[in-house]
Amino acid sequence: MAFLIERTGRRRVLEVAGGAVLAGARPGMSLREATRQAPRAAVALDDPVRAARDWRRMLDQLATLPGGVDDGGPGLAFVRAPDGDPPQRWFMRVRSKLVSSGLAARCGAGANRFVAYVATHRSYDAVCTPGGEAAFVADAPLELLRLDDDVSLRLRLLGVRTLGDLAALPAAHLRSFGPDAMRLHGFAHGHGEPAVVAGVW
């Protein structure tokens, strides 16, 4: 089990693998939080130059799929699949494109980018059924929103640990958290940019 962290800055966890996931380590956590959850996990430092080059190569491979690919930032891509086409078929196509890289892609699908992103942090090849977005994201950890440390702390002081907790806060109360508050509230209800149905992490 292992996790990959930022080489510089606040030493955030970028990726979690193996038993560290089961132990509770999650992307977005600080190194201190992650090692508290998985004290025996190996820690690898990110190499941004090599990672950017490798990621560009993988995006180029995924771009040959019908419908193309949107870059969600290092390690995250969104593939658009036609309506009615089973997500599992697209998961297989994605993996066939990445097989030469030797990486094990985590795939997930949903009605929008954010739900697809949450799905990649679920069990293997998770798919959110249309209409069930709010319930699907409800138990997802707050860390998936990659909040500013100050905002995250303030929410935790209010007892907010999951997206469901965030969704339960009154919208008016959230306005004190700044201009992005309502967008985050929307994510907590499973809303997001439509027409992207598969995430690759």
Confidence (pLDDT) at 199: 53
How confident is the model over 49-95, as pLDDT tens digits? Answer: 777 787 888 888 888 888 778 888 877 888 888 777 888 888 888 88
* Residue numbers of the domain that contains 14: 2-45
Beta strands in 26-174 (DSSP E): 42-45, 69-71, 77-79, 107-109, 126-127
| 81 inside domain | no
| 121 inside domain | no
How confident is the model over 111-170, as pLDDT tens digits? Answer: 888 999 999 888 788 999 889 999 999 999 988 888 888 888 888 888 999 999 999 988
| 18 inside domain | yes
| 65 inside domain | no
| 25 inside domain | yes
Closest listed residue to residue 108, CA positions, set 91, 132, 92? 91
Residue appearing with tokens 């935790």 = 156
What total number of domains does the chain contain?
1
Strand partners, 36: none
| 199 inside domain | no
| 169 inside domain | no
